[in-house]
Structure 1
Amino acid sequence: MKFKFEIEGGNFSKAGTASSEVKKILKQLNVNPKIIKRTVVSLYEAEVNVVAHAFEGVMKVEVEPDRIIVIIEDKGPGIPDINQAMQEGYSTATPKVREMGFGAGMGLPNIKRNSDQMNISSTVNVGTKLELINYFK
């Protein structure tokens, strides 16, 4: 099964919509609740990153019998130093984003912690691509 969700940059009122939909789908498929939770935490963090930092993005979800594969691609400023961005507490969020309670610098570390596999690539002034895999067993 394949699903695709558009993510609108800057629209915090819709942040979490795609991850909520994926949660419903995984529950309907009777996926282990612990795996659902880990997956949804990763997807929510990724979705908020797109909303906070990019102009727009897309989340592509593929549910296979043994795993879920998610690719989130955005058009935005990109990440100049991925290793630095992976450090807990490092953030490039604007003061406005921080005032809303986001931008604590835990997004990418939380995604990595809650994913069985995570790959990230980014080009400055183009965008970022994040690939996540969680296995059902």
Structure 2
Amino acid sequence: MSDSNSIFDKDFVENLIPQKFPFVMVDKLLMFSENEITAGFTVPENNIFVKDGIFQEAGLIEHMAQSVALYTGYEYFLKQEPAPTGYIGAIKTIEILQLPKLGEEIETTVTILHEFMGVTLVDIVVKLNDKEIARSQMKTVLAN
């Protein structure tokens, strides 16, 4: 999936989220619109959540949350304002069907369902080679 607003510069993408190396789990912004973002991540060898060549569940969940953070960070970048820090407020549902391997690229689409007073409810779908491998519904909360 590529779009005219795709961003493949890892350093630029990292500057849009509050996390820093070695805790960065997004490296591409593939698509952005008013209520949706698609983020990408190629699982690197030096990732703290890789065990025996497999990206672990905790890393996949963190990748989902950082995909939401990337949405917020890019939204604020477009407004030329500093992005606030956010937190996972709740994970309503999560289903992990498959874990990606070292070197594989996942694409995660976050759909904003509702935003109100710093609380955002999102649907998240993670794909590997166009096959859904995980999904979640989360609430994120912006820090005051």
TM-score by length of 2: 0.33
Using CA pairs below 8 Å that are at least 6 residues apart, which structure has the higher relative contact order?
1
Which structure has the highest strand share of the two? Answer: 2
Which structure has the highest helix share of the two? Answer: 1
TM-score by length of 1: 0.34
